[in-house]
């Protein structure tokens, strides 16, 4: 499946890595490092050289407890970086935002995808995306970013996340957004306990009934701290293992900070997933389709 991201194509025929580019003063793992547009552009190019198929630029930190940002501030931080990237970068740029005015400004500056952790639930967001011609990632989030980790509650987390995403996909279609433009994401770490996150990864394959590509973001998240006892700078091996398991379960896109290592994990998991027994009839090593 090939997605058209404002003229740049994203080939999901095999799973890919989305590199994270934060232009925030307070991101949980690299806050403030890429606020300077030149440093941000250099980091994006480095991630593409490491094999990223897409760069996700965000100016609003949505990790638990992060401070809200106005649309004007988001636009001020994002637009110079997106402008600089869209001309020089071979891969598409996605913009991590829920605000309709930011979506429009980012696409006008050259972004080719919307990544919305609120799944187009802010007023005007569905209409904004309907009026743009780019793919959109719908993510599940329980509650509000600031307080979502206080009391995550589910009966059956896997089923509730799947039904939420099915509902948002239907809302997109009603708003005039073709389902072929939609990617879905269970939202690891967004209003989920350790057990909820583990169950969602264990049963990620059940999201395949939605018929849309699956994106996952686990890179450096606190669930690795809770399960493995690792600080934020020590979560690479856990993240790589999680990326492989996600691809094994059908994920098409893995959002990650550590691109080179994640690309190897994703390619390895895909190679094993696609392995087929040779036909034992003298077919000379050709494999079953
Ligand atoms: C994600 C994602 C995202 N994650 C998509 N976009 C973040 N589509 C930002 C923690 O527990 O998974 N999918 N955009 C980052 N969010 C978090 C959440 C960061 C939780 C850290 C934690 O540490």
Q: Determine which one of 192, 220, 221, 235 is catalytic.
A: 221
**Ligand 1 neighbours by CB, cut-off 6 Å:** 28, 62-64, 96, 115, 117, 137, 139, 185, 187-190, 215, 217, 221-222, 255
Which ligand 1 atom is nearest residue 188's CA?
Answer: 12
pLDDT digits (tens, 9 = 90+) for 83-129: 999 999 999 999 999 999 999 999 999 999 999 999 999 999 999 99
Q: What is the pLDDT of residue 32?
A: 73
CB contact at 8 A, 277 and 288: yes
The proportion of the chain whose per-residue pLDDT surpasses 90, expressed as a percent, equals: 85
Q: pLDDT-derived band of residue 283, with 50, 70 and 90 as boundaries?
A: low
Q: What is the pLDDT of residue 249?
A: 98
Q: Is the pLDDT of residue 289 over 60?
A: no
Q: Which residues form the domain of 84? A: 2-288
Mean pLDDT, residues 218-236: 98
CB contact at 8 A, 218 and 183: no
pLDDT digits (tens, 9 = 90+) for 243-256: 999 999 999 999 99
Is the pTM higher than 0.85? Answer: yes
User: Would you call 255 a catalytic residue per the annotation?
Assistant: yes
Q: Which long-range contacts (CB under 8 A, 24 or more apart) does 272-279 make?
A: 272/248, 273/247, 273/248, 274/14
**Most ligand 1 atoms within 8 A of CB, residue of 144, 217, 233, 251 to mutate:** 217
CA distances to 135, 137, 192 from 124, in Å: 17, 16, 27
Q: How many domains does the chain have?
A: 1
- What is the average pLDDT score of the chain? 94
Q: Is the pLDDT of residue 241 over 90?
A: yes
Q: Domain with 87 in it: what CATH number?
A: 3.20.20.20
Q: Is the pLDDT of residue 194 over 80?
A: yes
Question: What is the Cα–Cα distance from 152 to 188, expressed in whole angstroms?
Answer: 12
Mean pLDDT, residues 166-195: 98
Q: What is the pLDDT of residue 65?
A: 78
Q: What is the pLDDT of residue 37?
A: 86
Q: What is the pLDDT of residue 285?
A: 53
Q: What is the pLDDT of residue 33?
A: 77
**Most ligand 1 atoms within 8 A of CB, residue of 55, 189, 243, 246 to mutate:** 189
Which ligand 1 atom is nearest residue 218's CA?
Answer: 12
pLDDT digits (tens, 9 = 90+) for 19-63: 999 998 777 777 777 778 889 999 999 999 999 999 999 999 888
Q: Is the pLDDT of residue 286 over 60?
A: no
Question: What is the Cα–Cα distance from 282 to 144, expressed in whole angstroms?
Answer: 60
Nearest residue (CA) to ligand 1, atom 6:
117
Question: What is the Cα–Cα distance from 258 to 251, expressed in whole angstroms?
Answer: 17
Which ligand 1 atom is nearest residue 217's CA?
Answer: 12
Query: Phi/psi of residue 115, each to 5°?
Result: -115, 105
Q: Is the pLDDT of residue 13 over 90?
A: yes
Question: What is the Cα–Cα distance from 145 to 13, expressed in whole angstroms?
Answer: 33
Q: What is the pLDDT of residue 226?
A: 98
Q: At what angle do helices 71-88 and 100-109 cross, to 10 degrees?
A: 20
Residue in the structure block whose two tokens are 């009603």 = 174
Question: What is the Cα–Cα distance from 259 to 243, expressed in whole angstroms?
Answer: 11
Nearest residue (CA) to ligand 1, atom 18:
63
Nearest residue (CA) to ligand 1, atom 12:
217
Mean pLDDT, residues 187-212: 98
Q: Find the angle CA(126)-CA(130)-CA(136) to the nearest 5 degrees.
A: 75
CB contact at 8 A, 220 and 191: no
- Is 69 buried (19+), middle (13-18) or exposed (0-12) by CB count in 10 A? buried
Q: What is the pLDDT of residue 177?
A: 98
Query: Phi/psi of residue 215, each to 5°?
Result: -110, 140
**Most ligand 1 atoms within 8 A of CB, residue of 27, 102, 117, 256 to mutate:** 117
User: Would you call 221 a catalytic residue per the annotation?
Assistant: yes
Q: Is the pLDDT of residue 228 over 90?
A: yes
Residue in the structure block whose two tokens are 């609120």 = 118
């Amino acid at each position: 499946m090939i997605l058209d991201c404002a003229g740049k194509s994203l080939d999901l025929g095999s799973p890919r890595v989305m590199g994270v580019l934060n232009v925030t003063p307070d991101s949980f793992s690299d806050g403030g490092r890429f606020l300077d547009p030149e440093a941000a552009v250099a980091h994006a190019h480095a991630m593409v050289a490491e094999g990223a198929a897409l760069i996700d630029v965000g100016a609003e930190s949505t990790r638990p407890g992060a401070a809200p940002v106005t649309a004007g501030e988001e636009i001020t931080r994002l637009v110079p970086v997106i402008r600089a990237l869209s001309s020089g970068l071979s891969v598409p740029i996605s913009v991590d935002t829920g605000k309709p005015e930011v979506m429009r400004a980012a696409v006008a500056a050259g972004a080719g995808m919307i990544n919305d952790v609120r799944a187009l639930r802010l007023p005007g967001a569905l209409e904004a995306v309907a009026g743009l011609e780019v793919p959109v990632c719908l993510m599940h989030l329980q509650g509000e970013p600031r307080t979502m980790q206080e009391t995550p509650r589910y009966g059956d987390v896997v089923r509730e996340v799947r039904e939420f995403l099915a509902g948002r996909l239907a809302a997109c279609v009603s708003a005039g957004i073709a389902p072929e433009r939609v990617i879905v994401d269970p939202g690891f770490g967004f209003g989920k306990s350790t057990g909820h996150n583990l169950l969602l990864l264990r049963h990620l394959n059940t999201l395949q009934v939605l018929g849309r590509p699956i994106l996952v973001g686990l890179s450096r998240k606190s669930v690795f701290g809770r399960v493995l006892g690792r600080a934020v700078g020590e979560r690479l091996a856990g993240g790589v293992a999680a990326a492989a398991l996600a691809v094994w379960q059908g994920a098409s896109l893995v959002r990650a900070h550590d691109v080179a290592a994640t690309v190897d994990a994703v390619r390895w998991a895909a190679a094993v997933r696609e392995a087929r027994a040779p036909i034992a009839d003298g077919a000379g090593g050709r494999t079953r389709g």
